[in-house]
Structure 1
Amino acid sequence: MSDAPAGYGAVRIPADVSRPDRVLGPATARQVAVVAGSAAGLWCAWLGVRAWVSPLAFLIPAVFVLVIVGVAVSTERDGLTIDRLLAAALRQMRAPRRQVMAPEGVVPPPAFLAEALGKSPRPPAPLSLPIADLDDAGVIDLGADGAALMAAAGTVNFGLRTADEQDVLLGGFARWLNSLSGPTQITSTNAPADVSGFVGTLRDQAASLPHPALGQAAQEHAEFLDGLGATRVLLTRSIHLAMREPGRAAAQRAVRRAEDAVSHLAACEIRVSPLGHDAASADLRALLDPSGA
């Protein structure tokens, strides 16, 4: 009898499927375009200053600039190259710091306020959100970007399963990934957990349990949870799936994809619940105001 686990087998693919194609050695088309554009710009600069600058005096800083550009477009951090991170940082610096929900626009402050302050205060900028509407089924209208639907997903204990059970779970999850027909985001969020209500319920119901030993166990568990909450920061984890569909009939396709996720992930013992209007609205409010103020 073979000791190898039956069922699904794991095969390691030594490739990054999301990596862009290489067109010139290890360089992608974007990297080649950026470096070639920088070299062309330096050549044009040399043609403009060669009458006054010696070739060696121009070559040294030009090579230094090309090295910096090459490092910026080839070095990655968190999946983004350095030049894209720098561009995002510049956009963040230029973006307004104060934004408010004002789809009709921000009214400028009155003139007497500027006279009292001695300068004209800078009004906040309207907060531009991609969300245009949220229907009763929980489908988020993204305007020109289509529609999206969020679903809450459960978890499954993978480490305590046998090798055969792990193969079955991985196979079911792989089938769901292969069935995806559009962008899908999996988000895991940690938030502080408040167990005071649960502790109070345990203590209130401990006396009404059918056996004194059960009541004592409930009291001890309540004290244990109360001690954890007093000495540590307890966290609760929530996992959401966001399925987006572009173009026409995007709402119907997003709903069908959510139904497919429910059926496919049920084989992995993962419970998926599409969010309705109220639950999706509450999640969106929590994203915009995590503190709940």
Structure 2
Amino acid sequence: MNDAHEPLSARIPADIEQPDKIMYGLTGRQVAILGTTAVVTVSVFMAAAPVLPVPIVVGLCFPLVAAGCSLALGRRDGMSLDRFALAALEHLRRRRTLVCAPEGVSEPPAWCQVRGRLPGPLRFPVRAIRQDGVMELDGGGTAALVRAGTISLGLRTAAEQTALVGFFGRWLNSLESPVQIVVQARPVDLSELTDRVVEAASGLPHPALRQAAEGHAAYLAELGTSRNLLVREVLIVLRDQPATPGTGRRGRGRARQASAVIVARRAVDTVRALTGFGVTAQALDADECVRVLSEAFSPSQTRPFPAADLDQPVTGDHTTEGPQT
């Protein structure tokens, strides 16, 4: 509000990490790439013009100009082409086969002829997992995992949708450290669930109930063989990096302990905030964190269908290929 009590508004870009534009709507990286391209192109033109015809010189300079403009102005998957090219080069430079070797992979003896490249050491960022679920990371940082459910906005009224979006926005604005929201989809196996339904059907008191249960089990068996079923899991990763890691073993231990307390408190606050607007949330303990990290190494491995909570409504977390039901 200004002195005349008139509402004021300001435009905030959706990408708050967007780099600043310094010249003609271009960022510093774009200006540097275009400037380098111009210098190289002019140098090639001045060196080749006295000895070659002009059309041939233009043909030599055109690929340089096209490559420079593409790197500076082009984008791929939301990333500028220069960063994408650097990431591709880094990916090609890395070794494809990684092994668990904390001490490093030793070079073979001189008499041994090795074909191809040696495997590289697997660098796992998690050093240890505490009983409360706080993970100790390399570099003195800590992290915690929160499993969150989902809600269906399509089944809510316009006022309820506005309130839920406002709740979620206030939670995002309350964050004081980087947070990662991971949505995983994994293949699911219904055979165990089908066996439980068949086993429970025999103990039902009425023949109609037994017939309905057996029909449902047959439907589950047919569904598991005819569809590619997926189960979805939403994880929130909370991290904390101590500003002063401390000196000496005791100092680093105290800094890591303080960081673990902070990230555990943030996990509790996240669960409380998400529960406040109807999203089921739970901070994962050590066993659940181990399960999540283990499944991350085998994303295509089929897992049993999770047991349903009879006290919670069905929200559509478990989806199949195609439209959600």
* TM class, shorter-length: 0.7 to 0.9
Residues 66/142 of structure 1: CA separation in 2 closer, same or farther (3 Å cut):
farther
More displaced, 13-22 or 90-99?
A: 13-22
Say what the alpha-carbon RMSD is for the aligned residues.
2.8
Give matches, 1:244-263, under 5 Å: 244-248=239-243, 249-263=258-272
For residues 47-105 of structure 1, give each alpha carbon's deviation from its aligned partner in whole angstroms, at most 9, with x where no partner exists: 77787678886566445423421222222222111222222111111111211011022
2:284 maps to: 275
More displaced, 93-102 or 242-251?
A: 242-251
Mapped pair 1:120 → 2:98: no
The separation in 2 between residues aligned to 1:58 and 1:70, in whole angstroms, is 19
Deviation at 1:16, TM superposition (A): 2.6
1:23 maps to: 22
Where structure 1 has 5 or more consecutive residues not aligned to the other structure, the ranges are 1-10
1:4 maps to: none
Residues 72/237 of structure 1: CA separation in 2 closer, same or farther (3 Å cut):
same
Residues 152/56 of structure 1: CA separation in 2 closer, same or farther (3 Å cut):
same
Asked if 2 retains the 8 angstrom alpha-carbon contact of 1:169 and 1:267, the reply is: no
Mapped pair 1:32 → 2:31: yes
Asked if 1 retains the 8 angstrom alpha-carbon contact of 2:187 and 2:230, the reply is: yes
Q: TM-score, normalised to structure 2's length?
A: 0.75
Residues 135/41 of structure 1: CA separation in 2 closer, same or farther (3 Å cut):
farther
Residues 291/111 of structure 1: CA separation in 2 closer, same or farther (3 Å cut):
farther
Q: Secondary structure at the match of 1:242?
A: strand
Size of the aligned set, in residue pairs, is: 277
1:217 maps to: 212
2:70 maps to: 71
Match of 1:227 among 199, 222, 225: 222
The separation in 1 between residues aligned to 2:153 and 2:173, in whole angstroms, is 21
The separation in 1 between residues aligned to 2:269 and 2:283, in whole angstroms, is 11
2:318 maps to: none
Residues 167/222 of structure 1: CA separation in 2 closer, same or farther (3 Å cut):
same
Mapped pair 1:100 → 2:99: yes
1:156 maps to: 151
Asked if 1 retains the 8 angstrom alpha-carbon contact of 2:187 and 2:301, the reply is: no
Amino acid in the other structure paired with 2:19: P
Amino acid in the other structure paired with 1:265: L
More displaced, 159-168 or 145-154?
A: 145-154
Q: Secondary structure at the match of 2:131?
A: coil
Mapped pair 1:207 → 2:202: yes
Asked if 2 retains the 8 angstrom alpha-carbon contact of 1:175 and 1:264, the reply is: no
Mapped pair 1:186 → 2:181: yes
Q: TM-score, normalised to structure 1's length?
A: 0.83
Q: Secondary structure at the match of 2:183?
A: strand
Asked if 2 retains the 8 angstrom alpha-carbon contact of 1:99 and 1:125, the reply is: yes
More displaced, 192-201 or 273-282?
A: 273-282
Asked if 1 retains the 8 angstrom alpha-carbon contact of 2:183 and 2:234, the reply is: yes
Where structure 2 has 5 or more consecutive residues not aligned to the other structure, the ranges are 1-8, 244-257, 303-325
Identical amino acids, percent of aligned pairs? 34
For residues 217-262 of structure 1, give each alpha carbon's deviation from its aligned partner in whole angstroms, at most 9, with x where no partner exists: 2222111111101111111111111112222443232222211211
Residues 26/210 of structure 1: CA separation in 2 closer, same or farther (3 Å cut):
farther
Deviation at 1:146, TM superposition (A): 2.2
2:79 maps to: 80
Amino acid in the other structure paired with 2:38: A
